[in-house]
């Protein structure tokens, strides 16, 4: 064969040179998804030039993200945090006592333990007392001695709960607006998370009541993304239940001790007083006596609590509150209905919903990002359930779950085999809300 003429080669090279910039702009290279620590700086700095509305980062497997975040928290905030025997973060030198007896409080005082504050939950018939351990006793030792002195009492660490997703929980500018009500809305749904960016365009017509942080606004990526998937609405974006009033509790407030069990309890107490039927908790952590008691009290009153099962992997120990009996545990699936490889598995999985290859709102610029994880599947399920349960009521809660289970579509496992319906399967009763996935292509 004859070699191509020199003039032809030159013409091709010239054309490639002219089109180089355009070709580069069109090329979609996979992005490195390094784990982001809570409040990590520089998270907002990279924007795809041709896509000013959406961040270029494509989240990958989230399996190590929570554990990395926990390790980082413990290293950076040693003055106020420490690890429990399992390595889970707790507030340093704090213990929680649930409706302690006079004998229990007397035993605590004899150990030199100080009562820091107490909170009464009239709706639950509970009193939560926060105790401070003196320097001469370790927190773990104090807990063991209290339990021995008052075996009938309920005592535990003040554990921290974190998001398990491709967005940090906190780290944003503070404001002074304590909430916004834009019309009556239809029904209600609750959110226990980090702060929501109420100034984001997707919340322009939303009715949102807020709790926490002393009335200050402290918007954060995680809370904003989760809230948008529930009630957000815009030109290119629509959550699962726009028009529904959102009760959003910020339990982080950009504090290193944010997300503690006592703050979750306070947020759920607010939800109970506000009579919010369905509450989403896209947070995970270890079992905790205080959290278990408050969750059980909420369920007894007829609330539905929806929680992400977490992204520590299918072989990981169960995470809470999703694994408490009666909580609606949610996993995430991809476009094909397959469970995310990092998603937790077990009998705690009740439903599945979109959890990857999707977009949600974000504070700052660009205003949207791709998200991944069970954290973003749970709010879709919560919003769908809220349509049938605007207020707590046990019979109505059971009916709402049965109706959603009847609508669930059988999913697929990680290798594409069909899986049946029923709690205990990788997708529980099945996949719901598949049509609610906001595809990245809408922003291109």
Catalytic machinery residues: 193, 222, 375
> Phi, psi at residue 294, to the nearest 5°?
-70, -40
| The pairing of beta strand 126-132 with beta strand 114-121 | antiparallel
What residues form DSSP beta bridges with 333?
339, 354
Contact assessment for residue 160 and residue 29, using Cβ atoms and an 8 Å cutoff: no
Please count the CA atoms within 13 angstroms of the CA of 40 that sit on its side-chain side.
17
Tokens 């049965």 belong to 402
3-state secondary structure 331-363: EEECCCCCECCCCCCCCCEEEEEECCCEEEECC
Cis before residue 321, ω within 30 degrees of 0?
yes
Contact at 8 Å (CB) between 36 and 43?
Answer: yes
Q: Which two tokens stand for residue 437?
A: 């996935």
For residue 411, CA distances in Å to 212, 334, 339, 343 come to 38, 10, 8, 14
Give the ranges where 246-322 is alpha helix by DSSP (H).
261-274, 289-300
Residue 95 in 3-state DSSP?
strand
The CA dihedral of 35, 37, 40, 45, to the nearest 10 degrees, is 20
Of 174, 234, 168, 230, nearest to 200 by C-alpha is: 234
């Amino acid at each position: 064969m004859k070699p191509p003429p020199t003039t032809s080669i030159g013409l091709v090279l010239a054309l490639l040179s002219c089109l180089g910039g355009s070709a580069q702009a069109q090329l979609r290279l996979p992005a490195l998804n390094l784990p982001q620590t809570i409040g990590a700086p520089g998270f907002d700095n990279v924007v795809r030039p041709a896509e000013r509305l959406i961040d270029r980062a494509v989240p990958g497997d989230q399996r190590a993200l929570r554990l990395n975040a926990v390790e980082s928290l413990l290293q950076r905030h040693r003055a106020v945090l420490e690890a429990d025997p399992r390595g889970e973060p707790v507030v340093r030198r704090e213990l929680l006592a649930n409706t302690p007896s006079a004998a229990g409080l007397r035993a605590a005082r004899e150990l030199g333990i100080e009562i820091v504050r107490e909170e009464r939950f009239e709706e639950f018939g509970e009193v939560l007392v926060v105790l401070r351990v003196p320097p001469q006793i370790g927190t773990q030792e104090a807990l063991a001695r209290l339990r021995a002195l008052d075996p009938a009492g309920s005592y535990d660490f003040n554990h921290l709960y974190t998001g398990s997703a491709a967005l940090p929980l906190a780290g944003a500018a503070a404001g002074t607006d304590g909430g916004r009500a834009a019309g009556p809305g239809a029904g209600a749904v609750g959110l226990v998370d980090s702060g929501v960016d109420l100034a984001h365009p997707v919340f322009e017509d939303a009715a949102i009541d807020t709790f926490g942080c002393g009335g200050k606004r402290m918007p954060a990526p995680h809370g904003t993304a989760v809230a948008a998937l529930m009630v957000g609405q815009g030109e290119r974006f629509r959550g699962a239940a726009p028009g529904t009033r959102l009760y959003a509790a910020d339990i982080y407030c950009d504090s290193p001790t944010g997300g503690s069990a006592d703050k979750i309890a306070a947020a759920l107490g607010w939800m109970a007083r506000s009579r919010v039927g369905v509450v989403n908790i896209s947070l995970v952590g270890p079992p905790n006596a205080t959290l278990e008691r408050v969750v059980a009290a909420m369920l007894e009153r007829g609330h539905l609590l929806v929680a992400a099962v977490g992204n520590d992997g299918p072989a990981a120990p169960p995470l809470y509150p999703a694994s408490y009996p009666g909580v609606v545990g949610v996993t995430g699936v991809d476009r094909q209905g397959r469970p995310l490889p990092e998603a937790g598995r077990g009998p705690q999985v009740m439903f599945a919903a979109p959890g990857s290859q999707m977009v949600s709102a974000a504070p700052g610029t660009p205003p949207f990002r791709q998200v991944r994880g069970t954290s973003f599947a749970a709010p879709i399920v919560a919003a769908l359930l809220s349509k049938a349960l605007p207020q707590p009521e046990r019979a109505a809660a059971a009916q709402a779950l049965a109706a959603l289970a009847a609508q669930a579509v059988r999913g697929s496992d990680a290798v594409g085999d069909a899986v049946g319906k029923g709690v205990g399967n990788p997708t529980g009763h099945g996949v719901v809300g598949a049509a609610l996935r906001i595809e990245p292509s809408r922003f291109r």
